[in-house]
Structure 1
Amino acid sequence: MDVEILARIQFAFTVAFHYIYPPLSIGIGLIMVIMEGLYLKTGKKEYEVLTRFWLKIFAITFGIGVATGIIMEFEFGTNWAVYSRYVGDIFGSALAAEGLFAFGLESTFLGILIFGWNRVSPKVHFISAIGVFLGSMFSAIWIVVANSWQQTPAGYHIVGEGFNARAEVTDFWAMVFNPSSVDRIIHVWQGAFLAGAFLVLSVHAYYLLKGKYIEISKKAFKIALLVATIVSFTQLISGHSSADGVAENQPAKLAAMEGHYDKSAPADLYLFGWVDNESQKVTGLSIPGGLSFLVHQNFDAPITGLNAFPKEDRPGQINAVFQFYHIMIFIGLFLIALTFYASFLWWRGILFEKKWLLKIFAFSVILPQIANQVGWFTAEMGRQPWIVYGHLRTSEGFSQEVTANQIVFSLVLFTVVYALLLLLFLYSLNKKIKHGPYDEAEHQYEII
């Protein structure tokens, strides 16, 4: 297999696996802040117990996330040396900021959060929870800023030529606030909030179905449902804003997302379909002119299609980009419907009487994870063939000296190690869930 394809597969695999954990950390961090804030306000023991319980799960998630993230730093140098040279000045500043202002903040306060229950005051402990949450949020900012610069470069100039060319920062804040960064940061945060909220919903729906920890699980479920209901709706808004940015800055990607080929014509909005790149046809159910309306508020407004670009400047896997994008949209709409319906039942006071709905929540934990993954696949595959949009092609960015055999060997090794880490994570998570929120000394609070 081609070295470039192997290098892309390896990096996609390691990034996708790593991206399971940071969104969970951010989402659980938000839930912990709310739970501990309620404990400070009300003094109710149940909120303290919930905070302690979810802190343990947060710590497991944080640890696995750190372990899986380190590998990617080495891949930049081993498999993508030309790319690393090209973006080193940009990524160096962003990743340095992430390490100094985000990871340091998060890990420092996490130590206080874990070991400080009986050593610091409740207010200091609550501030530490906020510090951990903000640290995880800041970490996401700098990672997304670096990635967004690849999508919509700004605040730089190019020094050197050929393999020695590299981008240098000329305006740090223009680089940070490049045309896509704000929309993408907000969208990533919201996806993370949903990942954490639905893990909490899933675990406590499981307890409720089993008849265990009833009262405490109802409290946790309501907290997570409130977060999920608000965020699932606002994510629709941020997603629309992000798509408008794609239409303006990356029209070839937008055309791939909807399978639109005509150079300049009104574009349909597909609910689902299948793209045949050879015939340039999409078979499926669509709203005529729907994409034109969303972008220009006019059903007859023209949208730039794939045929407006040379074949070598179009994404290579049109149908894959189309499918990943529509899977994300479908899951997002389903989560809105699910959370709004559950909130309506909560308002009526009959939420916990619906066992079938709790079963859906128990299994729905996987949906935000899938949406987060396919959202990133859409963004990254839709950017192709550019590794830095409009400037550096992916085919020009990988290391010239690395061989296919070396990548295959490391990919197999990573697969084995990551599979073991996933099993460790699932085993530890399952152990904590089966143990329940209460320590042995606190069983008097358990309600079965």
Structure 2
Amino acid sequence: MDLIKNWKIHVFALLLVIVAEFIGIQKHGLVIFLPMLYALVLGGIISYPSFHILNEKQMTRAGNLMGITMLFLIAKIGLGIGPNLHLLLNSGLALIMQEFGHFFGTLIFGLPTAILLKMGREAIGACYSIDREANVAIIAEKFGIFSPEGRGVMGMYICGTLFGALWISILAGIVSRTGIFHPYALAMGGGIGSASMMAASVGSIVAVFPDEVQKITAFAGAANLMTSVIGIYFSLFISLPVTIKVYELVTGRKRKDEVTEEEQADAKTKETMAQNEEAVAADIKKEETEEQEAKKGSTLGDDLLILFITGVLTLVANFVGFKVNPLDDWLGILIIIAICFVGILIAHVPVLNKLPNVFWVSIVAVVISIPGIPGAEWITTITKNVNFLAACTPILAYGGLSLGKDIPAFKRLSWRIVPVALMVSSGTFICATIMAEIMLHLEGVI
């Protein structure tokens, strides 16, 4: 059983949740710090390789656990989409157009920074998207993972894993507290196609606009789902070709010219770069292999147990951070767990298993919460007691406990990737928010 094999991970996660929620939400000027961030940072410290508190296998398992615990939050968000489906349908054009903000924001903010720092063609891989798993695969297929573009995409992938959620949470809090944008537009800006980064950004937005929590999570969930579904096609056919053209137009350099120069580089420098590339790629390949093996070894019983553990951690977070009596929300927790498990079961059905757990959990949650569906009003009322921010803290606690495995790969990267990663993340959030704000006004939603 997972509880027995990985007891240390779960105990640390519980301690992180208690400490993080005890500290609570802290606001300093425009900056807002949330319990989920404390859990992420403290978890990262615990998992730091030099401390030898967790081994690499345990860190990898913590990362896998994060994927299951994330389903709990996805279900909670889905339960907010159903009652607000009419509002989302009226905002359909805004949801579509904000996608252009997400994808071109990375280009507008990230590429000039990368060119200014003289990153070379690494800038293309780093700036054409937020560079999650599917985006890495696109670059690997088109250019090869050891190409300059491959170095860029892998650098962004590692940076996003290590501090993407932390940065986007702080940024979203600052932008939200300025009062410039409507919370619905901010929510769409937070739906950038990464579940952990969405949770972090939406958490900050909800902390600023607590009365709009259900609608904020509904807009963010819808935007994130749309980004996840169409993002790979948009990246492949639009944002990558445009990024290449803009890079070559600005620098005046074609790929074949830069590749030729690279081949003529000093042998020692070239050898060192190759070793670093291979080491980083090997780390990512090893991580993917371990994750696949862990998923194969995971049973439905393990998944259900992890969901129950997530429910308990959420109860604790709700009690410590928001003073909600566990007797008032235990039933809502069980309903969310049931939704998650039904979604997982559907994802195991032949043909239907072509789509991930996240999709089916979201669909189940949305359908059973649509007004008019038998029991929808009761389900929505019962699950309202489960605080959104309380549901986020356990997820990033597990995420923090997994960070240590990526630190060795991060140390091999060039320092230039860090400011570029920050600009790419900022660009996708800010540009999508601006686009959503404009379209929501034009559609008369706000």
Asked whether the two chains share a fold, i.e. TM above 0.5, the reply is: no
- Structure with the higher fraction of residues in strand conformation: 1
TM normalised by structure 1 equals: 0.24
TM normalised by structure 2 equals: 0.24
- Structure with the higher fraction of residues in helix conformation: 2
Which one has more relative contact order, counting CA pairs under 8 Å at least 6 apart?
A: 2
